[in-house]
Amino acid sequence: MKFDIISNIPYIEEKIKDLEKFTEKSRPFTRLVFSQEFYDARAWLTDQFKILGLLVSTDDAGNLIGTLNSKKHTDKIVMIGSHIDTVPSGGRYDGIAGVVASLCVIKHIKDNNINLPFNLAVYDYLGEELNDWGISCIGTRGMIGALSDEILSRSNSSGNILKDEINKIGGNTKSLSKPLPMIQNILACLELHIEQGKILEQKNIEIGIVRSIPSISRFNVEVNGQAGHSGTILMHQRADALVVSSEIITYVNKLALKLSKESNQHFVSTIGKINVYPNSAAIIPGLVEMTIDLRASSQNARQEFIDSLKDKIASINNSSPCEIVLKDIAFAPYVEMDNDLSKAFKETSQDIGLSTIMMDSGAGHDTAHLSRIAPAAMIFIPCKDGLSHCPEEHAEYLDVSKGSAVLTEMLIKLADKKIAS
């Protein structure tokens, strides 16, 4: 039986509304990785897996998994799912839509006694969002052996060590020095996600087929000046860290605008986190810490940005009473999605009668990391006004159901082609 888009909407609405309850009450929708809200949401998801008759497990990287085992007793696996953690004051659909869609897919397969020649696993990938440890996609980085000792040993602002948190949630960080053994059995990694942009909505397109995911680079910038009395230190005598920081902020924005135009590819940079010390109206800022987020499809443009930024910092250090230190804290490479799977997603969508467009992602995703070790592909559904990472984030339940239909029929198409043989 074909996936019925309309009849599945109530199920999708119910599950999304269930998950939105797991939030910090003072700032919806906030469900930070390793928080009590996150643990509560994972307990809910575990119950949903059990209701659907899935085998529940947590892998060494801390990913929560619900597996529908094939009756053919195979080790081969197709992965679906997304993530349920959020950014501070985030939305109700980023990651969540992909997890709920996956539950809907499993329900349809179970209700219709569809036998797949591969094991089908729904993943809640651990810590996809950038967090207090300065790293995103914890679970998928762990799966592919990309969590270094330095990253695992990082402490957050409360002094909690990342590896301790992963182990507490059920992982085993001693096994993460290399890729998890199960990756050799992966046939495909498929993910549904909201677009987090305006293209689908503006073009009135129902399904976006993702071609690529940009590289993501993050840098910490530390500007060391000298704190002092705001009333007694004369202007020409100051080493004001915030004033010097403003020069960096302006430069980063102008440089990103320039390279975005010149490369004619996806290129954005943001300084969205700044800490000022001592942070008092009566004290000259003595220290500023900020984070630069850089996303680029053009690797030449990315390198030009980094080189130009380093030159600018060196110039300021030579002429300013402040000292600027630049530190590389995270990197994920540019990746392209599997061509065959992407074509299959497009064909499947069109077979259902849904409009499609090939597009590049501006955001990072767990699928980017998985694509480095297995065939991987993504689809996007529209979100209102392109808003994401904010409480106003919204996607229509109908669009989530349409994406669920594509995901379901895609799995059946993979099964019919006997990819698991």
Please, are residues 16 and 92 in contact by the beta-carbon 8 Å criterion? yes
Residue whose entry in the numeric block shows the structure tokens 């007793």 = 73
Look at residue 327 and tell me if it is in a domain: yes
In this structure, are 274 and 321 located in the same domain?
Answer: yes
Residue among 189, 15, 192 at smallest CA distance from 100:
15
Q: Which residues contact 213 (CB under 8 A, 6 or more apart)?
A: 334, 335, 337, 360, 361, 363, 364, 365, 367, 368, 371, 378
Q: Where residue 396 sits, what CATH number does that domain have?
A: 3.40.630.10
Domain membership of residue 2 (yes or no) is no
pLDDT given at position 417: 79
Examine the domain organization and report whether 203 and 247 are in the same domain.
no
Residues 256 and 323 in one domain: yes
Residues 6 or more apart in contact with residue 416 via CB below 8 angstroms: none
**CATH number of the domain residue 322 falls in:** 3.30.70.360
311 plus 399 within the same structural domain: no
Q: Residue 43 in contact with residue 169, Cβ under 8 Å?
A: no
Please name the residues in contact with 221: beta carbons below 8 A apart, sequence gap of 6 or more: 245, 248, 288, 289, 290, 291, 292, 313, 324, 325, 326, 327
Would you state the pLDDT for residue 421? 38
Beta carbons within 10 angstroms of residue 237's beta carbon: 11
Q: Which is nearest to 8 in space by CA: 101, 80, 122, 77?
A: 101
Domain hosting 63: range is 9-214+335-416
| Same domain, yes or no: 236 and 383 | no
The total number of structural domains that make up the chain: 2
Low-confidence ranges of the chain (pLDDT < 70): 418-421
Q: Which of 332, 366, 395 is the last residue of a domain?
A: 332
**Model pLDDT, residue 1:** 83
Q: Does residue 229 share a domain with residue 192?
A: no
Residues 46 and 148 in one domain: yes
C-beta atoms surrounding 177 within 10 Å: 11
pLDDT value for 218: 96
Point out the domain boundary residue: 279, 307, 332. Answer: 332
Does residue 149 share a domain with residue 31? yes
Amino acid letter, 123: Y
Domain boundary among 264, 298, 332: 332
pLDDT at 337: 98
91 and 24 in a common domain? yes
Q: By C-alpha distance, which of 272, 253, 295, 252 is closest to 390?
A: 272
pLDDT of 298 = 94
Specify the pTM.
Answer: 0.92
Say yes or no: 129 and 274 in one domain: no
Could you tell me which residues come within 8 angstroms of residue 2 by beta carbon, excluding any fewer than 6 positions away?
409
